[in-house]
Structure 1
Amino acid sequence: MSGPGNQALNINSVVGQHANLEITNHGSNWYYAVCALMGACTLLFMGLSFTKPQGDRLFHYITAGITGVACIAYYAMGSNLGQVPIQAEFIRPGSRWVGSAGTREIFYARYLDWVVTTPLLLLDLLLTAGVPTPTILVTLLADEIMIITGLIGALTQTRFKWGFWAFGTAALLFIAYELLFDARRHASTLGGDAKKTFMLCGNFLIFLWFLYPIAWGLSEGGNVIHPDGEAIFYGVLDILSKPVFGLLLILGHRKISSSQLGLRIRNRSHIASEKYNPGAGVQPEGPGANVGGSAPTTGGHPTATHTHV
């Protein structure tokens, strides 16, 4: 029951069906606090984008988008919306945390958040490492499989939910391989600040992501911890993997230009140049120019490859 300061649970008790086991006022307050933090970080990242030239703001915009979407999702969860009651596989009548409740609240709003934000997190990392486009696409596909199977498993009432958990974990292992081995090699080719930023943020993120299947097993999967505990577990992980990760990444990109990563981002000056000099292409500069894959050679010298953005 909501206290005098937060009436969200009372007001929205008439919206949809509700589970026997759902968040209390404490969980709602926590979700709202995380919502506020995500919103503040979105404004911070957008503000920091003005410290970079317009053509070098891609990572600021991606990172601000991550926290912006998360802000909306946490507002929904704090309001006890975007949820459905699902019969728990394990009732656990002897537990002081979950009691003998038959249905448990499942927030599909959380997965709608992840299906948008987790590919953006990977995009931040893979573009920083100068990974080729085909590798980026297959890694993002694995990420979507991971999130969607997690959602289907959470909404499944029988033990077959663990099959979806296994599929999602397998996708996570593939993502970990791409970050820890393949993308690492590309980042090493770049060297400098790009390599340092990728190594720090990549290792940090993949460590956190391996804790999410544990949180899932204790909450949506195994019905071991109360939804308030679930809120804290996922909330702390999301704070670390979105605002904290984002701040580390943005700070790491202070001295990195898009051209160093093999990215070709057209701005007004480039468009004007190409208009009056149709044969003049804008080529990237710096050590990242050839990171996009095997470059064709002309007279024994590699020609620059780049990604158009």
Structure 2
Amino acid sequence: MGGNRALQLNPPNADLHISTHASDWLWSAFSVFGLSLLVMVGLDLLRARGTRLFHQLAIIILATFTLGYYSMASDLGATPIAVEFRGRGSYPTRQIWYVRYIQWFITFPLLVLEVLLATGLSLSDIVTTLFMCIVVVISGLVGALVHSTYKWGYFSFGCAALIYVWYSLLIHGTRTAFPGGGVLRTGYLRSASFLSFMLITYPICWACSEGGNVISNSSEMIWYGILDIIAGPVFLFFYLWHLMDVDYATFGFASGKYTDTEPAAAAPSAPVGEKSAPPA
């Protein structure tokens, strides 16, 4: 499944499109995500039941990345949009990869959730942060699909939402009482800083590719691919490595508790109008 065959079976639908070399790179990135997914599944199975939440979230993230990159490597999931800043002559059309934004719609909030679950943030704070993650992705998608200069308005909305995410990760989250103590706090600070730095680079790439049409589609794919690999598999393995020494029970995830035994049968209720006998 090389780039030549993919572009032959699924011809590009825009004037500015990916090259066979870019398709080959996407197949390589797909292999990285697929292999990382298999390794994560293996690590998940090695965990004791009831302590697999973080690994299973990672499995969902990596599975979504794998499917998204399979689509892009196959030259599927893009639509032609006329560029705002033309190169020469009339306005050419550029491939805009909506499948990438569908991928991010799932992976971005889950990546942030993976990190925030280690803090003492309230449920309302976490939900609000995840909503802002969704705003970032939707703003990027709508802005990429808009031909006129109004796309930069959506870009601004997305950056504003991203600032809120940074605030939750780097400021609000660090001021909470961590359930795992010093070991968990140190791991969180490193992981949150890592992820926050990676998030800065995505708007820059958007402005140079879908936004300003400064770089080619092939360069866009290479840039986004490197960012996704670092923010996906590299970050997840880095983060889970910091959680190895943390006792899972300290998180207090009651809904994630696993039991091997059947629940005790409920005592028969007394008929209506009668009182149950007091316990012996």
Shared fold by TM > 0.5?
A: yes
Per the TM alignment, residue 189 of structure 1 is displaced from its structure 2 partner at its CA by: 6.4
For the Cα contact (< 8 Å) 1:150–1:165, is it kept in 2?
yes
Match of 1:109 in 2: 99
Matched, 1:257 2:241: no
Pick which of 124-133 and 229-238 moved more.
124-133
CA distance in 1, matches of 2:139, 2:78: 17
Does structure 1 residue 221 correspond to structure 2 residue 219? no
Query: Aligned partners of 2:265 and 2:246: how far apart in 1?
Result: 29
Q: Which residue of 1 aligns with 2:26?
A: 31
Task: Check the 8 A contact 2:17/2:94 in 1, yes or no.
Answer: yes
2:197 is matched with 207
Q: Which residue of 1 aligns with 2:259?
A: 268
Query: 1:22 pairs with 17, 31, 35, which one?
Result: 17
User: How far did residue 266 of structure 1 move?
Assistant: 2.3
Question: Of 70, 76, 82, which residue of structure 1 is paired with 2:77?
Answer: 82
TM-score, length basis structure 1: 0.81
Matches within 5 A, 1:2-151: 6-13=4-11, 18-93=13-88, 102-151=92-141
Q: Is the 8 A contact 2:61 2:107 kept in 1?
A: yes
Provide closer, same or farther for how the CA distance between residues 100 and 261 of structure 1 changes in structure 2, counting only shifts above 3 A.
farther
Spell out structure 1 runs of 4+ moving beyond 4 A.
187-190
Quickly say closer, same or farther: Cα 1:102–1:9, change in 2 above 3 A: same
Q: Deviation of residue 187 (structure 1)?
A: 5.5
CA distance in 1, matches of 2:41, 2:102: 23
Instruction: Give the 3-state SS of the residue equivalent to 1:247 in structure 2.
Output: helix
- Match 1:193 to one of 183, 194, 204: 183
CA distance in 2, matches of 1:263, 1:257: 12
C-alpha distance in 2, partners of 1:191/1:213?
34
Distance 1:54 1:130 in 2: 23
Is the Cα–Cα contact under 8 Å of residues 179 and 251 in structure 2 kept in the other structure? no
Q: TM-score, normalised by structure 2?
A: 0.90
For 2:127, give the aligned amino acid. L
Which residues of structure 1 form unaligned runs of 5+? Answer: 94-98, 279-309
Distance 1:22 1:187 in 2: 49
Aligned residues: 266
- C-alpha contact (below 8 Å) 1:130/1:190 kept by paired residues: no
Q: Following superposition of structure 1 onto structure 2, how do residues 227-246 of structure 1 map, counting pairs within 5 Å?
A: 227-246=217-236
Unaligned runs of 5+ in 2: 268-280
Cα deviation, residue 60, structure 1: 0.5
User: Structure 1: how far apart are the matches of 2:198 and 2:264?
Assistant: 47
Structure 1 residues 253 and 100, CA gap change in structure 2 (3 angstroms): farther
In the aligned structure 1, how far is the partner of 2:219 from the partner of 2:190? 29
3-state SS, counterpart of residue 80 of structure 2: strand
Matched AA of 2:73:
G
Counterpart residue type for residue 160 of structure 1: Y
Correspondence 1:166 to 2:156: yes
